[in-house]
Structures are given as structure tokens and as C-alpha cells.
Amino acid sequence: MKLKPTRTRFSVLIMLFVVTAINYMDRANLSVAGSHIQGEFALSPTQLGLLFSMFTWFYAMSQIPVGYLLDRIGSRWLYGSAIVLWSVFTLMMGFASHHLFTTATASFMMLLACRALVGMAEAPSFPSNTKIIATWFPDHERARATATYSSAQYIGLALLTPALSLIVSKWGWEMSFYISGMVGIVFGIYWLMTYRDPQHSKSVNQAELEIIRKGGGYGSASQHAGSRVNWQSVRYILRQRTTWGLFIAQFAASSTLYFFLTWFIVYLEKGLHLSIDKAGIGAMFPYLMAMAGVLCGGTLSDLLLKRGHSRTFSRKLPVMAGMLLTCSIALVNFFQDQPVIAIGILSIAFFANAFSNLGWVVCSDVIPRHLIGTIGGFLNIFGNLSGIASPIIIGVILQRTQNFQYAMWYIAAVALAGFLAYLFLVGKIELMTPPESEAEADSKKNLHPSEIQG
């Protein structure tokens, strides 16, 4: 009797969904509390922009060492420890208003320090997610799996932003950090107790492992070949035109995302003149549309691939269409006195931005498995350079113009640059094979599987 395959990989996907929701809750809680923190400590728009961007400075700075560590020690311990740490630092942000800090400057420095530490601790998140998906899922399920866990960032924001807004309104901005931090600490401990890679999992059977192996996941030749990080191979990957196209596109896509993670609630309050409670409710719609967008983009990509279209067409179509439609965010400038229409435009633009969110899928398609952590670190650096630049640029624009119009034009222009990067730089979507990897693969043909590091 043929053994029925287990579905352990989908339990792993649920864990990634939950941790991604927590991740983005801890990124966005500062946006929800931003106006209140700005008022309490008399911060200028530029100072608030610096506080918004502080997370990303250290998040991006940590990507290369974290990616290398991920390829060396694996996802379980690195990711689990990171969840606990970033949650502790999130909780500590609530203490910035404590009487121990006798001046507003001291409180501001406390917030900056904690936000930087949250950024460092969250650095393993997406390289770990990508490596776990590439290990646990066959290639024809990866775009949908990535879209599923990525949708958590939007549904988490859609559901949790109104809740955090209510908490800030009723109990003060500090409480939003205390609650966010405690939720993450509990889940981080749960991750350390339960997550295992396929070779160590007690709930996966051989039939499911065979499905994964045949699809290029754990146990396949692409997982085994050249499993040690080779810096000559890394340099080869970094010299490819497609790699730089992916980097530029990731910067472009993340610029829109970081607007919604930082200045969005402030825009609803000060640009559209909504109260904090109404801003929290209004924020739900763009976040829910973004969740729909990421699911539609991933599903369409896998469906096209399954129906026989090339991997290049299946991956590039959603990305390019989504980035082009994201440029429509600039239309909101003509409806700032009509909040309902403005939020509708923002919802369409965020849907399109999320629809194009296949950067990590393409990364897993073109980067050898043993280099995903390292090259994924570079990809994350470029994606999060936008998180450094955009909040500060928007803050400077606001301080000089006292309105958001030029900020919206900036976001639209960067989205157009991402579309052009895919059009002119990203070539055929296929696995890059550094010359060294072929030799190393040949040298391992006679090794027993247990001797090969995966």
C-alpha cells in the first residue's frame, strides 16, 4: 500500500505566517504611536523620520553577517533567538517615557537605541523565511507559499493597526509596545521548541520528503551541490545583471511598503485630517487590499508556471504589472480633501505593490540553495535601503513643504524605476550556476547523504 504523504510543510507555513504577522506588527507599532510620540517629546518631522528609519539602518547593516550565519547554523536557533530578542527590545521602547529619562532628548535617544536593536534582531527574518520555503516546498508551490506568509504582514497590519490605535487612544502609546513585545516573546519560545528542518522533523514521512525532493527542495541535487559558502561563487552571483535588476526592483517595491509602515498613519491624521481612531480604521482597507494583492500575485505566478508558461514569464508578469500600477499612488494628491477616494487610491496602489511582491521567490529561483542566506542578505540590504532613505526623505519634504504631495510623487517615481529594472536588467529566470559549484557537486557524488551539509 502506497504511503500517504504527510502535510508537515503546511504546518511550517502557518508558523511562518504567524511570525511574519508579529514581525510587521513590531515594525508598524511606531507608525501608530508616531504622532503621540512626536507631540510628547516635541520632535520635528525630520527627527520623527530619523526615528522611523533607525530600524532599517541597523536591519540593513546586519544582513550580510546574518545571512552568512544562517547558511552556517540554520534557521531554528538563529530565527528563534531573533524573535525573542526583537520582542524584548520592542517591549523596552515603552519605557522611554519613564521618569528615569529626565529630558525629552534622553527619551528620544532611548527610542532610537531600542529601534536600532529591533532592526538588528529582525535581520534574519526574510532570509530565514526564504531558506525555509526553499527547503520545505517543491518549486511549483513556492510562489503561493511565499505569498501566503507574506500576506501575514498585511492582514496582521489590517487587523492589528486598529487594535494598536485603540490601545494608544485608551491607554497610551507605551502600552502598544508592551503588548507587542510580550506576544513576540511567547511565540519566539514556541518556535525554539517546535520548529525543525525536514531532516530532523518527527512529523514528516518519506512520501512527503519525496515530493519535496522531486520539486527541488530538501534532498534534491540543488540542495546538496556546493553546500559550503564559497566567496568566489558569491562574487560570481553579484556580477550578474539579473542580480542587480533584482536589487533595484527590491528597493523600489520596498519604498512603497515603508511608506505604509512609517508615515502612513501620520498621513491619514495630518494629510487627510482623520482622528487616530478613524485613521486606524481607514488603514485597514489598504492593508487588506495588499493582502489580496500578494495572494493574487503568487497564485497567478504559480498557475502560469503550472500551465506550461516559462518561469521567466510566470515570475516577471506579476512583478512588472504590479510595479507599473503602483505608480497610481500619485493620484492621491488630487483627492486630499476627499478621504474616502484618497484611501481608495491608496488601496489600489498598495494592492499593486503587494501583487509585485515576488522578489524573494525569484531569488529562490535563481540563487543556489547554499547561497540563499548570503545573497538574500544583499537583496535585503537593497530592499531596506529604501527604509533608510524614504522615511528621512519624506520627513525633509514635509518640513520644507508642509504637505505630502511631493512625497507621493517620489514613491511613484521609485516604483517606475523598479518596473524599468525588470524590463531592462532582469533576464531569464533560471538557476545561476557558479563554475565552482559544478566542480564541488562532482566531488560530492560519492558522498553518503549524511556526509553532505544542507
Q: Convert the pLDDT of each residue in 270-311 to its tens digit.
A: 888 888 778 878 888 898 898 888 889 888 988 888 888 888
Q: Cα(357)–Cα(322) distance, rounded to whole angstroms?
A: 8
Q: How does residue 450 score in pLDDT terms, banded at 50, 70 and 90?
A: very low
Q: What is the mean pLDDT of residues 338-364?
A: 88
Q: Cα(230)–Cα(419) distance, rounded to whole angstroms?
A: 32
Q: What is the pLDDT of residue 225?
A: 46
Q: What angle do CA 385, 391, 394 make, to 5 degrees?
A: 125
All cell numbers assigned to 204: 514528516
All cell numbers assigned to 198: 525536514
Q: Cα(96)–Cα(251) distance, rounded to whole angstroms?
A: 31
Q: At what angle do helices 125-136 and 139-171 cross, to 10 degrees?
A: 150
Q: How does residue 399 score in pLDDT terms, banded at 50, 70 and 90?
A: confident
Q: CA-CA-CA-CA torsion for 390, 394, 400, 403, nearest 10 degrees?
A: 160
Contact assessment for residue 290 and residue 351, using Cβ atoms and an 8 Å cutoff: yes
The pLDDT > 70 percentage for the chain reads 91
377, amino acid identity: G
* pLDDT at residue 221 greater than cutoff 60: no
3-state helix, strand, coil in the chain (%, to 5): 80, 0, 20
Alpha helices in 5-97 (DSSP H): 8-41, 45-61, 63-73, 75-93
Q: Cα(144)–Cα(125) distance, rounded to whole angstroms?
A: 18
Q: Cα(229)–Cα(365) distance, rounded to whole angstroms?
A: 18
The pLDDT > 90 percentage for the chain reads 24
Q: Convert the pLDDT of each residue in 43-55 to its tens digit.
A: 888 888 888 888 8
Q: Domains of the chain by range and CATH? A: 8-216 (1.20.1250.20), 230-430 (1.20.1250.20)
Q: Which of 358, 364, 322, 316 is nearest to 150 (CA)?
A: 358
Contacts of 236 (CB under 8 A, 6+ apart): 432, 434, 435, 436
85, amino acid identity: L
* DSSP secondary structure of 47-71: HHHHHHHHHHHHHHHTHHHHHHHHH
Q: What is the mean pLDDT of residues 389-413?
A: 87
Measured in degrees and rounded to the nearest 5, phi and psi for residue 86 equal: -65, -30
381 versus 71: the higher-pLDDT residue is 381
Q: How does residue 88 score in pLDDT terms, banded at 50, 70 and 90?
A: very high
Structure pTM? Answer: 0.68
Measured in degrees and rounded to the nearest 5, phi and psi for residue 310 equal: -65, 155
Strand intervals (E) in 292-415: none
Secondary structure of residue 165 in the 3-state scheme: helix
Q: How does residue 92 score in pLDDT terms, banded at 50, 70 and 90?
A: very high
All cell numbers assigned to 210: 519525496
* pLDDT at residue 226 greater than cutoff 80: no
First to last CA, the chain: 31
Q: Cα(394)–Cα(390) distance, rounded to whole angstroms?
A: 6
